[in-house]
Amino acid sequence: MSTDCSMYKKEVACNRVLNAECSWNGTRGECGWNGFTCFWGHGKDKTPCLDDSRCKWVYSDEECKNPTGYSSSYNGIFAGAMIVGAMIGSIYAGQFAARFGHKVSFLIVGIVGVVSSVMYHVSSATNEFWVLCVGRLLIGVVLGLVNVACPMYVDQKRPPEVPSRGRCSVSGVHHVWHYVCCSDGVGYWAKRQL
């Protein structure tokens, strides 16, 4: 459901799509779905497309397409998993870093990050949405821990000639947010094709 078969333009790519019922139509020279490809069946005819439960009408393209992607509920769960994880991680990060120290905290962050990455890849290979959400929850916990532990570490390891203890950690957090805003801005302008 999450894969759009019509975006594959070569037969080799179409036939190698994992977890999707894509098939190459040799007469059309296009990739479509095994059961029914809505554009091939209804094209730009709106009424039969809306009547067919297998299809959805795309108003921006004014054509009939197979539904792709996740529902709005699944998108909300997907996005919220990382936010909830970050909230949990940041709440307990100070206690965790104080109890186990910074080295152990960073080691655990790295290990959990690798586990989360493996879960992302497994969910992609098996098309398991909930494995993806658990991976996002774990990476959220890691992000919450890192966003608390890193400024603490920088503040404690500052050189003696730096007068303010908070200046280093605040500067580091400021640079992270500056990076996030710049990358979001570049993505926004690239999407608008300016």
Residues 144-181 pLDDT 10s: 998 888 877 877 777 777 766 666 666 766 777 787 88
Round the average pLDDT of the chain to a whole number and report it: 85
Model-level pTM?
0.68
Please compute the mean of the pLDDT values over residues 133-144 and round it to a whole number.
94
Percent of the chain with pLDDT over 70: 92
Question: Distance between CA atoms of 4 and 6, rounded to whole angstroms?
Answer: 6
The residue with greater pLDDT, 59 or 21, is 59
